[in-house]
Structure formats: C-alpha cells, structure tokens
Chain A
Amino acid sequence: MFLAPFKHHRPTELSAVFEALAKYGDEAAVYAGGTELLLALKARVLRYEHLIDLKRVRELAGIKVDGEELVIGALATHHEIANSAVVKQHVPAYAALSEGIANIRVRSAGTLAGNLSFSEPHSDPPSLLAAMGASVTLVSPQARRSVPAAEFIVGEFTTVRNEDELIAEIRIPLTRAGEGYRYLKFGHLERPAVGASAGCIIRGGHTRYRLWLGALGDHPIHAAEVEDAIAGVPVALLPDVLPKLAVSFASKISATSDLHGSADYKQHLASVLMQRALAAACAAASGERVSHA
C-alpha cells in the first residue's frame, strides 16, 4: 500500500510543533515511531495534509528518575524502556511489559506516548499504568497538566487529550520495597485478546491490591469490587477467596466478540489472568524477580 502525499515537517523545538499545529489544525498530525499512524494512513482510514515528526524535539526525549517517580519522555521507544537500567531497577514490571509488546520492530520504533495517544483498545500498557498509579503529562502552548493514566483513555481511539495538547511525558511511581506489580496477557494474534494488571502493596502488615483489565473493553477496566473484597486479605489466604470473585467479576464485563475471541472466551481469560497476575504481583512484592510477560 502507498501513502497519499503530504507535507513533512521536522521541528526541533516544542514551540515550533505548536506553531505548526496552530497553523494547520486538523489537517496535521504529529508522529514519532509511526507504528500506528502509518498503518492507518496506508489503509486510508486517516488522511493528513501535514505530518509533523517529533523525533528531533529533544525536550520530549529521555528516561529519568524525578523524586519518587520514573519519568518517560514522549520519544522513548518500547525497546529503550524495556532495556533501560533505570526502568528495570525502579519499575521492573513496566520494563517487562515493554519487552513483551508486539515484536522487536514495533518496539524499536514505537513509543509509549504514541501508543497511549492512539489508544487502540488491544494494547498492553494502559491497564498496568493504571494499576501502578501512573500519570500522563500533557502540554499545550498555554498550560501543562497531569492526568491519571486511569482516566486518560475514555474510549476506542479516544483520550482526554485536547487537539492543541501533546503528551510530554509519562510518570510512573517508583516501585518500593513491599510492592509488586505484574502484567500478563494472552492472545493468538500480535495484539493481546485480554491483558490483566495486578498490584500487591504490603504496608505495616496490611495488604492492598490493584486489579485492572485491558484489551477486552474500549478502555482499561478497573476491577474495583474485587479489590474492595480482598483488601486486607493476607496473600496466603487469597486462593480461598479470589477465584470466585474473579469469575463473578469477569462474567459481568461486557466484552465484545471479535477476531481475538468470543465474548465468553475473553471473560474466561480475564478471570484466569486476573488470578495469575495477582499471584505474580504478590510474588514480586515478596522480592521475586520479574521476567518478561
């Protein structure tokens, strides 16, 4: 497939990106890796007169620790995140997720910020970012604001990002001692049919859990009623209560039947993956090392 012609822009400063966006409006799109956008352009699902390459805007680059948070710049690729010593040390569960995204070619080019901006539902990162309490920093010419990752995606290919805003960075709280997170997924295709993200937070003898599901709805699904029901339950006693709760919650999710599987199959995957992800998160909280998803 070939692309319809467009004018290419390669700014080196954020201010120049905003100028171009203001000038061309909805005839322009920004991109970095292009792993999602170019597919849509080739399929002629989208058409833009102007493409703005962000890759030379150094203000958007880099991965670093800032206080109690890991800061992932908008230009960081999945491959850079997966192999970053800082990410592996401070948020090992997210590094493991990155290593499992799509394939090495997509990871080499694709960025986390691009993945979130596109918000294709069959995606890995959103549910784990929600479970870890991450946030997305949006910048516009006028302002800078932070949105919880849990609230960033509102529907299929739809986020709370305004037309004049760009993702500057993604912030993930550092995983501390006594905490563990884990993302697990299953699917027959390149993208996950269902993903489950879990967290286990042990503080002063009290244990709390985090449970989110991805890919089977149009945005990440918070298993809040399961979290509430197991709050304070010691890790060792989870197998007594979790299976029934997981099956019950999964059966109520309104999953869609598509080429990734039927709705009831996805509900089954959700209940199984929730339990396995939580067990793995608990193991991580007690110090077990994470391998890739």
Chain B
Amino acid sequence: MLDPQTVSFTLNGTPTELTIDASELLVDVLRDRCRLKGTKRSCDVEVCGACTVLADGLPVSSCTTLAVDIDGKSITTIEGLAKDGKLSRVQQAFVDHAAMQCGFCTSGMVLATTALLEQKPSASEEEIRHFLRGNICRCTGYIKILEAVKSLV
C-alpha cells in the first residue's frame, strides 16, 4: 500500500473499520475485503447501475467511488436489505413480479428503487422511469421491473 487509510463507516447497519489503500475503489473493497458479492461490476463507467450501493441513502456507483470517501458514511448493499431472513418489500415485489432475468442488474435495480421510495413514496410512473433511467437491464426486462416498482407506490 502506498497510502494506507483507515475508514470508519456503517456497513449494512454494522459499525465497520477497515484499513485500505487510498487508491482502492469501493466496489473492490465491498466484494474482495468484505466478501459481499451482491454488488456487481459491469460497465465500470457509471452508466449501467449494476454496482449501485446506497451511501447515506443515495445511490452511488461503487465502481467509481474511492473507498476512502465512505469514511463516516452509512453504506447499504443488497445484502443489507433483508432483515431476520425476511426480504425487504422492494425485494419481495421483484420476486412476486418475476422482475429479473439473468439477475445481474437486480441488486442495483432493487437498491435504486429503495432510494426512490425513500424520497418519493408515491412516485408516478414518469418519476419511476426517470429515477431508474441510469440502471440498465441488458436482458431488456424493463416491463416486469416497472410493474414491480409500481406495485409499491
């Protein structure tokens, strides 16, 4: 490590402290150090949304976020949504509507939807489409995803 840094943050509700190199990206720290493989790396340029995690409730691209920048923040990954073995309502809606095909975009879709509903519990279809515009389903299964999200508002 050229520049070891200690970061203190909350990971899925648990206070966490890690020593990382300043150049490490959040997606690698989550996947390889924290062993949370639900966060996916795909486009690597902030376009597709597969690597979405929530930082203080807002979606960010973990592929293009320095892990040192999460110091002091609360990070939620897909692994942090279910409580006591029970899926969150967003996860359950995706299951109920079969809103996934290959599943690679699903973590990001579910987290982005979770953030949207936090901000706009009664989002209109236009608002849903706008907010999820940056999450790409390469299988093109958007209609089922939209139906799942609409069932929650």
8 A Cβ contacts from A65-117 to B: 79, 99, 102-106, 108-109
Whether A104 contacts B23 by the Cβ 8 Å rule is no
Chain A contact-residue range equals: 20 to 34
Whether B2 contacts A190 by the Cβ 8 Å rule is no
Select one of A34, A102, A103 contacting B69, CB under 8 A.
A34
Query: Secondary structure of the B side of the interface?
Result: mixed
Complex: how many Å from CA A106 to CA B45? 10
Whether B64 contacts A35 by the Cβ 8 Å rule is yes
Asked whether any CB of chain A lies closer than 8 Å to the CB of B117, the reply is: no
Take A102-B46, A105-B49 as given contacts and tell me if A39 and B58 are in contact as well, using a CB distance cutoff of 8 Å: no
Complex: how many Å from CA A105 to CA B50? 11
Residue of B nearest to A104 (CB): B59
Complex: how many Å from CA A87 to CA B96? 40
Complex: how many Å from CA A278 to CA B52? 37
Choose the segment among A5-13, A126-134, A226-234, A279-287 that binds chain B (4+ C-beta atoms closer than 8 Å).
Answer: A5-13
8 A Cβ contacts from B50-76 to A: 52, 55, 58-61, 64-66, 68-69
Asked whether any CB of chain B lies closer than 8 Å to the CB of A53, the reply is: yes
Select one of A2, A8, A42, A102 contacting B3, CB under 8 A.
A8
Whether A104 contacts B44 by the Cβ 8 Å rule is no
Whether A105 contacts B2 by the Cβ 8 Å rule is no
Whether B46 contacts A108 by the Cβ 8 Å rule is no
Whether A1 contacts B44 by the Cβ 8 Å rule is yes
Asked whether any CB of chain B lies closer than 8 Å to the CB of A38, the reply is: yes
**Could you list 7 further interchain pairs (A-B, Cβ under 8 angstroms) beyond the known A102-B134, A103-B47, A103-B133?**
A8-B66, A35-B64, A38-B64, A39-B64, A103-B134, A108-B55, A108-B59
Binding site for A on B (CB under 8 A): 1-3, 5, 21-25, 28, 44-47, 49, 52, 55, 58-61, 64-66, 68-69, 112, 115, 130-131, 133-135
Binding site for B on A (CB under 8 A): 1-8, 10, 34-35, 38-39, 42, 51, 53, 55, 79, 99, 102-106, 108-109, 190, 292
